[in-house]
Chain A
Amino acid sequence: MSDELLTYAQRHYGMDHDRYRWSMLQDRDPVVWPDNKPLALWINLSVQHFPLSGEKPVVAPPGALTMPYPDLRHYTLRDYGNRVGIFRLLTLMERYQAAPSVAISGALAERYPRLMERLAATGYEWLGHGWNMLCMHAGEIDVAIESEWIARTREVLEAFTDRSLKGWLSPGRSQTANTPELLVRNGFSYQCDWVNDELPYPFKTQEGDMTCLPSCLELDDVFVLTQNLHSEDSFVQQVTDAADWLIEEGQAQGGRLLALNFHPWLVGQPHRISAVEKILEALLVTRRDDIWHAPPSAIIDAAIDPIG
């Protein structure tokens, strides 16, 4: 045992794995966004299904049910997002003419077809978001089962939209050792689980390359409001501080990306929705001259592949 503690098989230049090349953001060729805007803004809405089943996955995702079965308290609080919260968010997105993506639990396509039709009518880009929030891509999940979760999610969501899904966000941003290969095999060209960068970059799999479009955990509404227990006002300030910092950096160094993620069950609550409104006002109105707001696929396409 002890000898192993002082043995370092991967102690060499670059990363200690083969998923991507090591490089620093500031050392790459500058990215130029449309109209030479310094900052690209990606907004994602995570539309999630938390099953009532008392099963405990190997890793609990943020927002997981916690009480003994039947955990009506948390089940219904999460379901609130799909009945009420999402419509508050859509109203705001439409008012501000925003172009968010929606990451959707596949199970919702079977449970709530009317919600799918409403989301399809927006024209927003859809991402696969796992089958449901208990189907965690973590640990030693059988490859066939994990592959089925991914394939089925694509299949049921695509029944509601005429555009094929390109992007994937795993529940809890968690992956198994096989997830990237299974995503490519099932036709996904980008995933957003690795939060290790602020620009898209090439991500290697044994099934061919895909893109990682890094989402941002540190400004995710669930992280800020329910894990850090910060106020809604502080959340707004953190987002605008980030935008101002990145705009300044983008003007000096090349395009930057701000990635936000909202959960209808959380910020769709009546006492929190005004925080989203303030964020949209601050980003899409006050800072409109400096921000290029676009769907994730457009952001990936516009980012010159900076590290080859």
Chain B
Amino acid sequence: MSEVAQFSELSLYDYSPYDERPKLVWPNGARLAFWVAPNIEFYELDPPSNPHRKPWPHPYPPVPGYSIRDYGNRVGHQRQMALLDKYGVRGSISLSAALCEHHPEIIALCAERNWEFFSHGIYNTRYTYGLTEDQEREMIEDAMDTIERAVGQRPAGYLAPALSHSNHTIDLFAEAGGLYTCDLFHDDQPTWVNTRSGKPFVSIPYSLELNDTIAYVVQKREPRRYGESIRRAFDQLYAEGADSGTVMCIPTHNYQVSCPHRLRAFEEALEYITGHSDVWVTTGREIAEYVIDYGRQQLQGSAVVPSR
């Protein structure tokens, strides 16, 4: 077995210029499909070391990194959930599947709200890196089976754990019965994804740029500026949505957005977005199912938003 990766240019989707696409029509003529994707994650205190990526920068026990993420589940989750309830948003959870076993109370709270659960691997301290194709299939199916056992529905979406991928990740997830990926950041509209099985499979925009961890940890935004960024993104996508439907996603983390000094800014953004009339407040799965069906009806499956 060679340790050298096989490099190739990306062929998961076709090129499609934004200004040459047919109109995408959302249900009830909405301009924009809006979804919030809370990442509900479990990070292990003592994960096995992975030669390709170190789970923690800090030697064991990684108290600083571990404890703030635990804060997300102990303190932050219900805070964010109450806010989403207030604005009528059902979360589409990017779920570390093992959390079904560690913290079933969180799963129950989300399930009774009819939130969507999609797969984010087993733990966010376990990566795709270093797995053979068979092992990655086992991990993907384990996560889907675990979530299905806990909530009674097989996940439709996948965000690979800690955004760690192989060249087989999306093919394997489609073959395991998935409908959509959140791992591609190439567009503000859904697009068909070419998989080796040829099953209908789409990419749903999941904005890494508006992801709270990217905003707060990487870009180091002030909370109010993050809220302003969300509103500006909405204004732009809502305006463009008058011509053809757009998607806006806010990916969140219970240990970032749910800190008390950040919630007001997030609330103002949610209030602003849900205060507009032509917004389809929905989930990742509902968008994926709609565009797959829409694509079949309108475009004979060539592309949801095709150029050809």
By a beta-carbon cutoff of 8 Å, the part of chain A in contact with chain B is 1-2, 4-8, 10-17, 22-27, 58-59, 138-140, 172-177, 193-198, 214, 217-219, 227-231, 234, 237-239, 241-246, 249, 258
| B150 CB → nearest A CB, Å | 12
B68 near A8 with CB under 8 A, answer no
Complex alpha-carbon distance, A138 and B64, angstroms: 11
The reply to whether the CB of B229 lies closer than 8 angstroms to some CB of chain A is no
In the complex formed, the residue of A with least CB distance to B128 is A5
Which residues in A have their C-beta under 8 angstroms from that of B139?
Answer: 6
Which residues in B have their C-beta under 8 angstroms from that of A174?
Answer: 58, 63-64
The reply to whether the CB of B50 lies closer than 8 angstroms to some CB of chain A is yes
B101 near A12 with CB under 8 A, answer yes
B261 near A238 with CB under 8 A, answer yes
| B282 CB → nearest A CB, Å | 27
B68 near A22 with CB under 8 A, answer no
Total A-B pairs, Cβ < 8 A: 152
In the complex formed, the residue of B with least CB distance to A136 is B59
Which residues in A have their C-beta under 8 angstroms from that of B61?
Answer: 17, 175-177
B260 near A246 with CB under 8 A, answer yes
Complex alpha-carbon distance, A280 and B222, angstroms: 21
Complex alpha-carbon distance, A27 and B67, angstroms: 19
In the complex formed, the residue of A with least CB distance to B256 is A218
The reply to whether the CB of B71 lies closer than 8 angstroms to some CB of chain A is yes
The reply to whether the CB of B131 lies closer than 8 angstroms to some CB of chain A is yes
Q: Which residues of chain B in 241-273 are interfacial with respect to chain A, using CB atoms and an 8 Å cutoff?
A: 259-265
The reply to whether the CB of B122 lies closer than 8 angstroms to some CB of chain A is yes
Complex alpha-carbon distance, A241 and B101, angstroms: 35
B101 near A218 with CB under 8 A, answer no
A242 near B261 with CB under 8 A, answer yes
B263 near A11 with CB under 8 A, answer no
B74 near A25 with CB under 8 A, answer yes
A194 near B73 with CB under 8 A, answer no
Complex alpha-carbon distance, A242 and B266, angstroms: 13
Pick from B40-48, B110-118, B189-197, B295-303 the stretch touching chain A. B40-48
In the complex formed, the residue of A with least CB distance to B267 is A245
Which residues in B have their C-beta under 8 angstroms from that of A241?
Answer: 223, 260-265
Which residues in A have their C-beta under 8 angstroms from that of B153?
Answer: none
Q: Which 6 A-B pairs have the closest CB atoms?
A: A242-B261, A139-B59, A196-B70, A238-B261, A242-B260, A196-B67
A5 near B126 with CB under 8 A, answer yes
The reply to whether the CB of B154 lies closer than 8 angstroms to some CB of chain A is no
The reply to whether the CB of B75 lies closer than 8 angstroms to some CB of chain A is yes
In the complex formed, the residue of B with least CB distance to A177 is B61
Complex alpha-carbon distance, A14 and B42, angstroms: 11
A25 near B78 with CB under 8 A, answer yes
Task: Name A245's contact: one of B67, B101, B104, B260 (CB within 8 Å).
Answer: B260
Contact with A along B35-57 (1 / 0, CB 8 A): 00000001011101011000000
Sample of 6 further A-B pairs with CB below 8 A, known A24-B78, A245-B264: A5-B131, A173-B63, A193-B63, A194-B70, A218-B261, A238-B222
Which residues in B have their C-beta under 8 angstroms from that of A175?
Answer: 61, 63
B222 near A230 with CB under 8 A, answer yes
Task: Name A13's contact: one of B48, B51, B104 (CB within 8 Å).
Answer: B104
The reply to whether the CB of B98 lies closer than 8 angstroms to some CB of chain A is yes
In the complex formed, the residue of A with least CB distance to B51 is A1
Q: Which residues of chain B in 113-139 are interfacial with respect to chain A, using CB atoms and an 8 Å cutoff?
A: 122-123, 126-127, 130-132, 135, 138-139
| B57 CB → nearest A CB, Å | 8
The reply to whether the CB of B224 lies closer than 8 angstroms to some CB of chain A is yes
Which residues in A have their C-beta under 8 angstroms from that of B131?
Answer: 2, 5-6
